[in-house]
Amino acid sequence: MIESLVYRSGSVESYDDLGEAKAAQGTTWVHATEVTADERSHIAETFDLHPLAIEDVNSNVRAKTEEFPEFVFALLKTARLTRGDTTFEEEIVDDPVGVFFGSDWVVSMSPGTASMVGRVKNAVQAGDERLLERGPDFTAYRIVDVIVDSYFDLLDTLEDQIESIEEDVIESTEIDVLDEINSVRRELLSFRKLLWPAREALGVLARGDLKLVQESSEKYFRDVYDHVVQLVDLTETYRDLVSGARDIYLNSLSQSTNEVMKVLTVVATIFIPLTFIAGIYGMNFETMPELGWRYGYFAVWMVMLAIGIGMIWFFRQREYI
């Protein structure tokens, strides 16, 4: 779906024809979502976009910023969590969003819905003066800004999952917890791989080398850049939380095995020698003087009690019980 807006200070108009929109005075913004091959070619022809850049919007390459003679091309990725069809239940799905901007036009284009960009469109239609008067690079900034803002939401979801894991590892040694841990670890890894190129791409926009980015807009791109750096930091922190939770989980298992062994050892070590003694006096030898002693049975009980108490004292000393 293609939408075209042309705006300048105090005025916003909607156009159906791309050529007219481009020719109209003011900033022309063409926003294409769930874009088809035909729509892509149509826009590319109108704004003279390079076929390789158009192709990148439709494929699975990393975020980047490239300078062309007549325009700047920034490719970013939207990210959302989804129940996938692989062995693991949840994963991060990303959609590319291409943002092209020239001297008086912006083109944004995605094979997905890029729903958060709608917020910028609404602001333009609502007549937000900063958008109307500051030109195409500021509109481009707002688009990448809403995309990066949506990353924070995704990371909040992951943070909740990590908190739930941190509670689980203390209570349970079920292997499900390890699955959850691995799932979050993978999502954080995917997210990190998405953030690093985005960081680079925004660095190029913020650095001030691009002649199509006004000096007053650079500070704004720098601000989004700082947010991405902060996201990278958060991701690293969460990776460490997950890694710590995994350590606790694995340790709980070792501790559990240790506890189980202690129970067995205490019980078996106390009763096996006692059973042996009982076995002795269960033998059927004709000549076993103790069997005839008056207090023989009582004495055996005493010996057994002494051994049992000695064993318990020994295990208490070793802190087995």
In the range 230-269, which residues lie near a second copy by CB under 8 A? 230, 233, 236-237, 240-241, 244, 246-248, 250-265, 267-269
Q: Is the dihedral of CA 111, 112, 113, 118 positive or negative?
A: negative
3-state DSSP assignment of residue 321: coil
Give the x-and-dash track for 84-123 against a second copy (CB under 8 A). --xxx-----------------------------------
Cα Rg, the chain, nearest whole Å: 35
User: Could you say whether residue 163 binds a second copy (CB under 8 A)?
Assistant: yes
**Helix, strand, coil % in the chain, rounded to nearest 5:** 65, 15, 20
Of these partners, Mg ion, a second copy, none, which one is at the site of residue 302 (CB under 5 to 8 Å by kind)? none
Interface pick for a second copy out of 93, 116, 123, 300 (rule CB under 8 A): 300
User: Could you say whether residue 240 binds Mg ion (CB under 5 A)?
Assistant: yes
Interface pick for a second copy out of 129, 284, 313, 317 (rule CB under 8 A): 284
Interface pick for a second copy out of 11, 36, 103, 275 (rule CB under 8 A): 275
How many residues bind Mg ion, per CB under 5 A?
A: 3
Interface pick for a second copy out of 149, 182, 303, 316 (rule CB under 8 A): 182
User: Could you say whether residue 262 binds Mg ion (CB under 5 A)?
Assistant: no
Distance CA 201, CA 97 (A): 13
With CB under 5 A as the contact rule, which of the stretches 27-35, 68-76, 168-176, 243-251 interacts with Mg ion? 243-251
With CB under 5 A as the contact rule, which of the stretches 34-42, 123-131, 234-242, 295-303 interacts with Mg ion? 234-242
Distance CA 65, CA 76 (A): 9
Going by C-beta distance under 8 Å and a sequence separation of 6 or more, which residues neighbour residue 303? 277
As separate numbers, helices (DSSP H) first and strands (DSSP E) second, the chain gives: 9, 7
Cross-strand bridge partners of residue 45: none
Distance CA 140, CA 202 (A): 11
Residues in the chain: 321
Pick the closer one to Mg ion by CB: 179 or 240.
240
Of these partners, Mg ion, a second copy, none, which one is at the site of residue 193 (CB under 5 to 8 Å by kind)? a second copy
With CB under 5 A as the contact rule, which of the stretches 96-104, 149-157, 240-248, 312-320 interacts with Mg ion? 240-248
User: Could you say whether residue 288 binds a second copy (CB under 8 A)?
Assistant: yes
User: Could you say whether residue 11 binds Mg ion (CB under 5 A)?
Assistant: no
How many residues bind a second copy, per CB under 8 A?
A: 87
Distance CA 196, CA 235 (A): 11
DSSP calls for 177-220: HHHHHHHHHHHHHHHHHHHHHHHHHHHHHHHT--TTS-HHHHHH
Interface pick for Mg ion out of 64, 119, 192, 239 (rule CB under 5 A): 239
Q: What is the distance, to the nearest Å, from the Cα of residue 313 to the centroid of all Cα atoms in its chain?
A: 52
User: Could you say whether residue 176 binds a second copy (CB under 8 A)?
Assistant: no
Cross-strand bridge partners of residue 101: 72, 106
User: Could you say whether residue 186 binds Mg ion (CB under 5 A)?
Assistant: no
Pick the closer one to a second copy by CB: 17 or 233.
233
C-alpha to C-alpha distances, 229 to 130, 201, 206, nearest whole angstrom: 26, 12, 13
